[in-house]
Amino acid sequence: MTDVRQDDVRQDDVRQDIDSMRTAGVWRIWAPLYPLHDRWNGFGFHLALMTAISVIGLAGYHVTLHFANGRGVTAWDPTNSWDTTVPPLPWSIFIYLTLYLYFPLPILASNRDLRGRRELALLAQGMILLFLISYAFFLFMPAEVGVRTQMEQLVPVMHPRLASLFDIVYYLDRPWNSWPSLHVSESLLIVLFVQRWLGIRADEFPNRRPWMAGLWIAWIALSLSILTTKQHFIWDLITGAVLGALIWWFYILPKLEQRTADREPSSVPTSA
């Protein structure tokens, strides 16, 4: 009987989650993930959601990438003299690859309560919007990253391990899907989300300012690395930052600021 009552309570919690999140503009597609909210020490919903976003993002990126690569058409070449002036720095590939370290940060920053789940879902929706807009540009305004040849010429004289790393990147990431840069826009949304949540949890993170300063410096380094690895043009960096900022300020943030009645079962931990 105890197990039956616990199941009834969990189902009631899920129904109330769905109702509350729907009024805050959260899409119904996330409903199958709600029952996971009390799994894995309260991280179940967070982990499932960010895994789904990663899969959606990678799948869409590679579909459009291979289509553009197979078509081989450049609608507009954004190259300027500054692009060729930026020196190729092989070691900056390590900074370039730090993008994948950003995705766990929203999971760790946001609370494991209803508000945390709701805001993480809204971030996910903003990222899907970002993907769709970016994919449209990739498909209808394709641009081949011609400056990559500057780095390709250095690969034969690199340390073998570094050269192998570039070989993997070049195999997986053809020189298309130029602008706007998803490296810049995705990471910007995550940094802004983490900054918001460290502010919300200010009592838990009294020394958050140095950490946020470090994260912003890391984001700037990541953004510059798309140029020094010759994976993107300067135009890609600018448009990626602008697109990320627009989606944050005009889509994600207004929804985050909506007020709804939070309700959290006492059995689920509320902080990371």
Q: pLDDT tens-digit profile of 207-232?
A: 999 999 999 999 999 999 999 999 99
Average pLDDT over residues 51-66: 95
pLDDT category of residue 261 using cuts at 50, 70 and 90:
very low
* Higher pLDDT pick, 234 / 7: 234
pTM (two decimals): 0.88
At residue 194, the pLDDT reads: 98
Contact indicator for 52, 121 with CB cutoff of 8 Å? no
